[in-house]
């Protein structure tokens, strides 16, 4: 949902969870991928699409 441009609030509404839960999952995702921003996430995704890692 992040890659589709959903905000924390719209993601929470769509999934039926609290915005704080969404923030926690995003934080954990960023930690696991060793990134610090949404732009880094997009770059990683584009690299993955290209077959780069």
Answer yes or no: are the C-beta atoms of 21 and 12 closer than 8 Å.
yes
Is 3 part of a structural domain of the chain?
Answer: no
1 within domain boundaries: no
Q: pLDDT band for position 36 (50/70/90)? A: very high
Considering the domain boundaries, does residue 18 fall inside one? yes
In 1-53, at which residue ranges do the beta strands (DSSP E only) sit?
none
**Per-residue pLDDT tens for 8-30?**
999 999 999 999 999 999 999 99
Residue 34 has a pLDDT of 96
Return d(Cα 35, Cα 47) in angstroms, integer.
14
- Residue 21 domain boundaries: 8-49
- Provide, rounded to the nearest whole percent, the portion of the chain with pLDDT above 70: 98
Residue 20 is assigned to a structural domain of this protein? yes
| Number of structural domains found in the chain | 1
Query: Is 15 inside any structural domain?
Result: yes
Task: Indicate yes or no: pTM above 0.85.
Answer: no
**CA-to-CA distance for 24 and 26, rounded, in angstroms?**
5
Q: What's the rounded Cα separation, in Å, for the pair 33 and 2?
A: 14
Has residue 53 got a pLDDT over 80? Answer: no
- Whether 21 is in a domain gets the answer yes
Tell me, what's the pLDDT at 52? 81
Is residue 2 one of the residues assigned to a domain?
Answer: no
């Amino acid at each position: 949902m992040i890659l589709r441009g959903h905000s924390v609030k719209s993601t929470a509404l769509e999934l039926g969870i609290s915005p704080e839960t969404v923030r926690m999952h995003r934080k954990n995702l960023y930690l696991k991928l060793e990134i610090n921003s949404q732009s880094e996430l997009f770059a990683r995704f584009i690299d993955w699409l290209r077959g780069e890692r």
